[in-house]
A and B are shown apart, each in its own frame.
Chain A
């Protein structure tokens, strides 16, 4: 167990809807990164938050947005859901001095129908 928690575990949404996924980072970790993992592929970097600011972004459209709160927990919001958004969404936390050593939560499985 990494101490990183995510909610919900599973979610089913309809195309065009909006979704919010949540992540609580491991104690002492101030950096949260979000990844999308499609079936049979490696995780793809969405964005990273450090001290409540977006600190880097992958090749994802603006309808993917996020927040980080003062307690370092984070949200991922996806608007106008598309069928291709169906995936496992992973949150990873890390600490400032070893930010590249990332520890993953259990993930949220999103299905868009």
Chain B
């Protein structure tokens, strides 16, 4: 079992719809969770972090964490074509950033 799993996609949604991206992780002691956006040919950009169970909202983005189910998700409301990118889920297994594990990423395509 891989440490961090994501559907590779592509996930296609129409403009204005809600995009839902999912991630599961295997290590129960994981402490903190992140979503990065990566445009083709560019480096990852941090868009959300979440540390405790529940929802965290930032603009059009909502991160959801369920540690019991070892599941973290990212919702993008009112999706725009500019949201088309690969979304990487990352899990940190300690408080020092030394055990930072990325998933393979989900490619999102928002269709105009």
A interface vs B, CB < 8 Å? Answer: 2, 31, 33, 35, 40-45, 48, 55-56, 88, 90, 94, 99-107
Contacts and interface: CB of A to CB of B under 8 A. Distances in A.
Interface string B98-111: 11111111000000
A42 B105 contact: yes
Contact of A103 (B46, B96, B99, B101): B46
A55 B101 CA distance: 16
Contacts of B97: 31, 33, 48, 56, 94, 99-100, 102
Nearest to A4: B43
Contact of B98 (A55, A103, A106): A55
Given A42-B102, A100-B32, A106-B42, 5 more contacts: A42-B104, A101-B34, A101-B49, A102-B46, A106-B43
20 contacts: A2-B45, A31-B97, A33-B100, A41-B104, A41-B105, A42-B4, A45-B98, A45-B99, A48-B98, A55-B98, A94-B97, A99-B95, A99-B97, A100-B49, A100-B92, A100-B95, A100-B97, A102-B100, A104-B46, A106-B43
Contact of A56 (B31, B98, B102): B98
A35 B103 CA distance: 13
Interface string B76-112: 0000000000001010100111111111110000000
B111 to A, nearest CB: 22
B44 interface: yes
A45 B46 contact: no
